[in-house]
Amino acid sequence: MKSRSAAKARHTPRGMTARPATFADRCRRQFRPLSTAAVVVAVLAGSSNAPAAEPELVALADVAPTIRQDIRYATRRNFMAQVLPGYRAGKCLLRPEVANALRRAQAWLAKSDPPRFGLKVFDCYRPMRAVRAMVRWTHSNGGSEAPFHYPAHKRSRLVALGYISDRSSHARGFAVDLTLVAIASGEDAAKSATDTDDVKPAQTCRERGGEPTDPSEVDMGTTFDCFDVASATRSGDITDLQHKNRAALVSVMSRFGFRNYAREWWHFTYIGRVADGVLDVVIE
Ligand SMILES: [Zn+2]
Of 173, 235, 188, 228, nearest to 206 by C-alpha is: 228
Kindly give the distance from the C-alpha atom of residue 147 to the centroid of ligand 1, in angstroms, as a whole number. 19
pLDDT at 143: 56
Helices and strands, counts by H and E, the chain: 7, 8
What kind and span of H or E run contains 122?
A: strand 117-123
Kindly give the distance from the C-alpha atom of residue 18 to the centroid of ligand 1, in angstroms, as a whole number. 34
Kindly give the distance from the C-alpha atom of residue 154 to the centroid of ligand 1, in angstroms, as a whole number. 20
Kindly give the distance from the C-alpha atom of residue 163 to the centroid of ligand 1, in angstroms, as a whole number. 9
Domains defined for the chain, CATH in brackets: 66-84+97-270 (3.30.1380.10)
What kind and span of H or E run contains 249?
A: helix 240-255
Measured in degrees and rounded to the nearest 5, phi and psi for residue 183 equal -120, 5
Kindly give the distance from the C-alpha atom of residue 16 to the centroid of ligand 1, in angstroms, as a whole number. 30
**What torsion, rounded to 10 degrees, do the Cα atoms 106, 174, 192, 264 define?**
160
Kindly give the distance from the C-alpha atom of residue 241 to the centroid of ligand 1, in angstroms, as a whole number. 23
pLDDT at 272: 81
pLDDT at 74: 98
Kindly give the distance from the C-alpha atom of residue 271 to the centroid of ligand 1, in angstroms, as a whole number. 14
Residues 6+ apart with CB under 8 A from 192: 182, 209, 218, 219, 241, 245
Kindly give the distance from the C-alpha atom of residue 19 to the centroid of ligand 1, in angstroms, as a whole number. 34
Kindly give the distance from the C-alpha atom of residue 270 to the centroid of ligand 1, in angstroms, as a whole number. 11
| Angle made by CA atoms 110, 116, 118, in degrees to the nearest 5 | 60
DSSP string, 214-241: -TTB---SS-TT--SGGGSTT-SSS-HH
Q: One-letter amino acid identity for 226?
A: C
pLDDT at 19: 41
pLDDT at 4: 39
Kindly give the distance from the C-alpha atom of residue 76 to the centroid of ligand 1, in angstroms, as a whole number. 17
Residues 6+ apart with CB under 8 A from 88: 74, 282, 283, 284
Neighbours of 1 (CB within 10 A): 5
In the chain (284 residues long), the average pLDDT of successive 10-residue segments reads 37 37 39 40 44 71 97 95 96 95 97 91 97 93 71 87 90 96 62 47 79 86 93 94 96 97 97 79 94
Beta-bridge mates of residue 279: 43
pLDDT at 27: 36
**What torsion, rounded to 10 degrees, do the Cα atoms 17, 22, 23, 25 define?**
-40
Kindly give the distance from the C-alpha atom of residue 28 to the centroid of ligand 1, in angstroms, as a whole number. 31
Kindly give the distance from the C-alpha atom of residue 179 to the centroid of ligand 1, in angstroms, as a whole number. 11
Kindly give the distance from the C-alpha atom of residue 81 to the centroid of ligand 1, in angstroms, as a whole number. 17
Of 180, 197, 284, nearest to 242 by C-alpha is: 180
Inter-residue contact 122 to 268 (CB < 8 Å): no
Whether this model's pTM surpasses 0.85: no
Kindly give the distance from the C-alpha atom of residue 25 to the centroid of ligand 1, in angstroms, as a whole number. 31
Kindly give the distance from the C-alpha atom of residue 264 to the centroid of ligand 1, in angstroms, as a whole number. 8
Kindly give the distance from the C-alpha atom of residue 24 to the centroid of ligand 1, in angstroms, as a whole number. 33
